[in-house]
């Protein structure tokens, strides 16, 4: 940055007048440039006036003196005086003005005279004046350049320190003030290494300066507040005009924050490594950059729905499955895939463990990640190295998106045992619900018998009537047809009752299908109607007209409705028959659910917490098992809904349960 012969004073803005055009500015680098000052300082005005007065005195002496122009050489002092306080243009103007004064003085004394020694003295004076002016302008330019260089040193955030051969500080920029804590005035003249307690590799520095005249490396220094800081420093030797060492120019940058960040990064990596190794579930790192490149190619080709496209182009999906390499794996991952060791996984593709379900899941995960998700999760199946199919909950995390999926963290939780246990529990629940349905049907066997006997009696009556119409002398064909139609209709009614009973007593869990809720409840109520009538219970139904179908098992939902309605009927057995009201109603519940409510007018729930009635073996009946409501809760929760109870303000209790709508599950 500096010429070897540059004097340290040339780089010290405090050594020059603050009003000089080259004075160092401490403004921010991004600050707007100030307007040029039009008013000079009082010191500058005095110096300019002194120069003008000197020029006037020299002119008078030149005109009046008998020395014949010898005085004119003194005008050089005027130019030098102006050069101390003015810029280049003003120096040139001063030089030109002095030349004019020399010529005027010469003309007034020697106009019309023959050429003699006076003309020679005039030429010498003008030449000296011109040379002085040019040298002053050049000196101003050099000083201005040095000042501009010093200004640039003030703009840098790094520290810039210039030292002489004795290690004394000659220059101390704003960056040094900010970092070390000493002001420029306090630092200049001090021994640098003693003040900053510098620790550096002395032998390395000496060898580097001997070979190249420069050194760069790291050192430690003390700030004014006593804290030790690490610095990245660069030192450059300075030489005088004779080539002898004159000192050192150094720039330094604080490494403390960088070192702290690096230490924190190492600690973070160590923590991550410890968690990675000690985690009780499978974790592996993988390079998915090939998959990302393939997705970007598809997007450039106009594919917008990555998931749907990959799901319908399984060959491309399999290529993407192979375009991912495991780079690290923990012990649990080795155990999950039944591998002999980490080396059996690292460097391998996940397609080694792929299944049809895994391919479909991969399409879903890639769709989520390509849409900007940082984490994608799905449940899927893998095949271990020993051929065993396992259920896992897979979660993929993009660690550094800017690296293009080169580092992906994949975690897998083994759900195989959980799913097997859940399947066994579902089977047990289905069997328990079946037993409860059979027991429930026994409670209103008389109603069922009535529902079956009614159409059977009607069939008998219409058959006898038809036979009589046929035995007449003139058989009435129309009447016989009517009797047969009634027989068919009542046979259908009997068949529906039997089919309903068969469904309620059937074992196993039926698949969940779209189900018109009002229709299913009507069928359940039909089985209880005679039982309710026998108990003098007034049944009311209120169904929401705009309620879409729910998604569920018809038989199990009817079982819940029957259980709640029969409980309500039994709760009203001890009250006045005129007050026995039972209401079954449906309505929308929030977004995506339907609510079914069964309200009675009995004595209500005596427990402080009404939801306690859903606990297993809880009962208030002398002959009850306490399993009915518990089974209802299991059925509702298995459907993705919830069930609860509350006392009515006007007496009685209301049981509510929700079921997901088909449109929400789609």
Residues 166-182 pLDDT 10s: 999 999 988 899 999 99
Question: Average pLDDT of the chain?
Answer: 80
Average pLDDT of span 638-649:
91
Cα separation of 204 and 182, whole Å? 28
* Count of Cβ atoms closer than 10 Å to residue 380 Cβ: 22
Confidence tier at 117 by pLDDT (50, 70, 90): low
Give the rounded distance of the alpha carbon of 604 from its chain centre.
51
Enter the tokens of residue 472: 């007449």
List the structure tokens of 305: 């729905």
Contact in structure between 657 and 623 (CB atoms under 8 Å): no
Q: Which residues contact 100 (CB under 8 A, 6 or more apart)?
A: none
C-alpha distances out from residue 460 to 466, 469, 486, 489, Å: 10, 14, 10, 13
Fold of 421-502: Helix Hairpins (1.10.287)
- Mean pLDDT within 258-270: 86
Residue with tokens 């391919």: 359
Helix (H, G, I), strand (E, B) or coil at 646: strand
User: DSSP secondary-structure letter at 285?
Assistant: E
Strands 214-222, 282-287: pairing kind: unpaired
What local confidence, expressed as pLDDT, does residue 33 receive? 39
CB count in 10 Å sphere of residue 450:
16
Average pLDDT of the segment spanning 107-131: 73
Burial class of residue 220 (count of CB atoms within 10 Å of its CB; 0-12, 13-18, 19+): middle
- pLDDT > 70? residue 450: no
Q: How much is the pLDDT for 2?
A: 36
Write phi, then psi, for 39 (nearest 5 degrees).
-100, 130
Does residue 383 contact residue 355 with C-beta atoms inside 8 Å? Answer: yes
pLDDT of residue 200: 93
Alpha-carbon span 121 to 116, nearest angstrom: 9
The residue length of the chain stands at 666
Domain ranges of the chain: 42-153, 156-260, 280-412, 421-502, 510-664
Which H/E stretch holds residue 570?
Answer: helix 554-571
The rounded percent of the chain whose pLDDT value lies above 70 is 79
- pLDDT of residue 259 exceeding 70, the answer is yes
Cα–Cα distances in angstroms (integers) from residue 87 to residues 38, 90, 94, 150, in the given order: 13, 5, 11, 18
Say which CATH architecture domain 156-260 belongs to.
2-Layer Sandwich (3.30)
Q: Write the CA distances from 657 to 398, 525, 642, integer angstroms.
A: 40, 17, 6
> Residue 446: pLDDT above 80?
no
Please say if the pLDDT value at position 429 is more than 80: no
pLDDT band at 141 (very low <50, low <70, confident <90, very high): low
**Closest among 536, 525, 559 to 635, alpha carbons compared:** 559
The CA angle 414-418-420, to the nearest 5 degrees, is 115
> What local confidence, expressed as pLDDT, does residue 25 receive?
36
Are 182 and 192 within 8 A, CB to CB?
Answer: no
Return the closest-CA partner of residue 443 out of 537, 570, 558: 570
Domains 156-260 and 421-502 share a fold: no
Query: Could you tell me where the beta strands, DSSP code E, fall in 517-580?
Result: 538-542, 550-552
Neighbour tally for 300: CB within 10 Å: 8
- Closest C-alpha to 562, from 523, 617, 600, 618: 523
Average pLDDT over residues 22-26: 36
Are the beta carbons of 97 and 54 closer than 8 angstroms? no
> How far is it, in rounded angstroms, from Cα 293 to Cα 319?
12
The candidate with the shortest Cα–Cα distance to 16, out of 85, 91, 87, 89, is 85
Residue 48: predicted pLDDT: 81
Contacts for 58 with CB less than 8 Å, ≥ 6 apart? 71, 72, 74, 75, 78, 101
The SS3 assignment for 236 reads strand
CB 55 within 8 A of CB 78: yes
Backbone φ and ψ for 404, nearest 5 degrees, come out as 70, 45
CB 590 within 8 A of CB 558: no
Question: Tens of pLDDT along 351-410?
Answer: 888 888 998 899 999 999 988 899 999 999 999 999 999 999 999 999 888 888 998 999
Note the pLDDT of residue 585. 95
State pLDDT tens for residues 470-507. Answer: 777 667 778 778 778 878 877 776 776 666 666 655 65
Mean pLDDT of 626-639: 83
Q: Report the pLDDT value the prediction gives residue 250, as an integer from 0 to 100.
A: 92
Of residues 62, 131, 98, the one with CA closest to residue 90: 98
pLDDT at 658 over 80: yes
The dotted CATH code for 280-412 is: 3.30.450.20
Question: Residue 273's CB: how many other CB atoms inside 10 A?
Answer: 12
Torsion of the alpha carbons at 532, 537, 538 and 542, rounded to the nearest 10? -60
> Cα separation of 409 and 125, whole Å?
87
Residue 484's CB is within 10 A of a number of other CB atoms, namely: 13
Q: What is the pLDDT of residues 515-557, one digit of tens each?
A: 999 999 998 888 788 778 888 899 999 999 889 999 998 888 9
Rounded to a whole number of angstroms, the distance between the first and last alpha carbons of the chain is: 72
Contact between 262 and 269 under an 8 Å Cβ cutoff? The reply is: no
pLDDT at 333: 92
Sequence-ordered strand ranges (E) for 339-463: 375-383, 389-398, 408-414
Residue 31 — very low, low, confident or very high, per pLDDT cuts 50/70/90?
very low
Q: Which fold has domain 510-664?
A: Heat Shock Protein 90 (3.30.565)
Q: Taking phi first (over 0 means left), then psi (-120 to 50 degrees means alpha), and beta for anything else, what does residue 472 get?
A: beta
Exposed, middle or buried: residue 312 (CB in 10 Å: 0-12, 13-18, 19+)?
exposed
| Residue with token string 């036979």 | 467
Q: For 221-235, what is the mean pLDDT?
A: 93
Kindly report the pTM of this predicted structure. Answer: 0.48
- Which backbone phi and psi does 197 adopt, to 5 degrees? 50, 55
CA nearest to 284, candidates 168, 390, 412, 163: 412
- Residue that wins the pLDDT comparison between 152 and 608: 608
Give the distance from CA 644 to its chain's centroid.
39
444 pLDDT tier (thresholds 50, 70, 90): low
Residue 20 has pLDDT above 50, yes or no: no
Could you write out the DSSP letters of every residue in 219-272?
EEEE-TTS-EEEEEEEEEEEE-TTS-EEEEEEEEEE-HHHHHHHHHHHHHHHHH
Q: What is the pLDDT of residue 587?
A: 94
């Amino acid at each position: 940055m500096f010429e070897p012969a540059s004097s340290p004073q040339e780089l010290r803005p405090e050594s020059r007048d603050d009003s000089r055009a080259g004075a160092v500015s401490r403004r921010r680098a991004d600050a707007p440039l100030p307007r040029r000052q039009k008013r000079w300082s009082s010191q500058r005005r005095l110096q300019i006036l002194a120069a003008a007065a000197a020029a006037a005195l020299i002119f008078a002496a030149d005109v009046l003196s008998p020395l014949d122009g010898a005085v004119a050489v003194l005008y050089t002092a005027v130019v030098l005086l102006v050069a101390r306080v003015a810029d280049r243009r003003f120096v040139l103007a001063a030089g030109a003005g002095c030349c004019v004064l020399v010529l005027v003085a010469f003309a007034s004394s020697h106009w019309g005279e023959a050429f003699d020694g006076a003309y020679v003295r005039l030429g010498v004076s003008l030449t000296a004046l011109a040379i002085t002016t040019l040298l002053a302008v050049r000196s101003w330019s050099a000083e201005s350049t040095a000042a501009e260089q010093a200004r640039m040193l003030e703009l840098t955030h790094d520290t810039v320190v210039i030292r002489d051969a004795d290690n004394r500080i000659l220059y101390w920029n704003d960056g040094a003030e900010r970092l070390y804590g000493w002001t420029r005035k306090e630092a200049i003249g001090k021994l640098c290494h003693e003040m900053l307690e510098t620790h550096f590799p002395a032998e390395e520095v000496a060898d580097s300066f001997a070979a190249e005249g420069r050194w760069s490396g790291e050192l430690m220094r003390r700030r004014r507040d006593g804290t030790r800081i690490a610095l990245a420093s660069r030192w450059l030797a300075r030489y005088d005009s004779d080539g002898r060492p004159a000192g050192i120019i150094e720039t330094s940058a604080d490494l403390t924050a960088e070192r702290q960040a690096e230490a924190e990064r190492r600690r973070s990596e160590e923590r991550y490594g410890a968690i990675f190794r000690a985690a009780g579930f499978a974790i592996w790192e993988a390079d998915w950059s090939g998959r990302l490149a393939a997705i970007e190619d598809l997007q450039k080709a106009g594919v917008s729905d990555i998931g749907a496209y990959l799901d319908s182009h399984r060959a491309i999906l399999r290529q993407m499955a192979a375009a991912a390499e495991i780079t690290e794996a923990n012990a649990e991952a080795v155990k999950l895939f039944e591998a002999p060791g980490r080396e059996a996984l690292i460097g391998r593709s996940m397609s080694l463990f792929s299944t049809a379900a895994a391919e479909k899941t991969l399409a879903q995960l890639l769709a989520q990640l390509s849409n900007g998700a940082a984490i994608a999760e799905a449940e899927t199946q893998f095949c271990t190295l020993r051929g065993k199919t396992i259920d896992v909950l897979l979660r993929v995390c993009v660690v550094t998106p800017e690296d293009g999926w080169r580092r992906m963290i994949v975690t897998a939780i083994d759900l195989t045992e959980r799913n097997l246990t859940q399947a066994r529990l579902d089977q047990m629940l289905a069997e328990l619900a079946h037993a409860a349905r059979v027991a429930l049907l026994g409670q209103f066997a008389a109603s069922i018998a009535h529902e079956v006997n009614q159409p059977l009696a009607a069939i008998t009556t219409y058959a006898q009537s038809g036979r009589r119409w046929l035995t007449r002398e003139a058989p009435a064909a129309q009447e016989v047809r009517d009797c047969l139609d009634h027989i068919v209709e009542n046979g259908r009614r009997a068949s529906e009752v039997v089919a309903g009973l068969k469904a309620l007593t059937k074992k196993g869990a039926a698949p969940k299908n779209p189900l018109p809720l009002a229709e299913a409840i009507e069928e359940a109520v039909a089985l209880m109607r005679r039982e309710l009538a026998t108990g003098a219970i007034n049944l009311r139904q209120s169904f929401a007209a705009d309620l879409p179908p729910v998604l569920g098992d018809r038989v199990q939902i009817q079982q819940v409705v029957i259980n709640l309605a029969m409980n309500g009927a039994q709760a009203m057995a001890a009250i006045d028959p005129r007050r026995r009201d039972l209401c079954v109603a449906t309505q929308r519940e929030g977004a995506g659910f339907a609510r079914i409510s069964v309200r009675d007018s009995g004595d209500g729930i005596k427990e402080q917490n009404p939801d306690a009635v859903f606990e297993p073996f809880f009962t208030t009946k002398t002959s009850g098992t306490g399993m009915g409501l518990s089974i209802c809760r299991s059925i509702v929760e298995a459907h993705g809904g919830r069930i609860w109870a509350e006392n009515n303000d006007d007496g009685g209790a209301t049981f509510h349960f929700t079921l997901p709508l088909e449109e929400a599950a789609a």
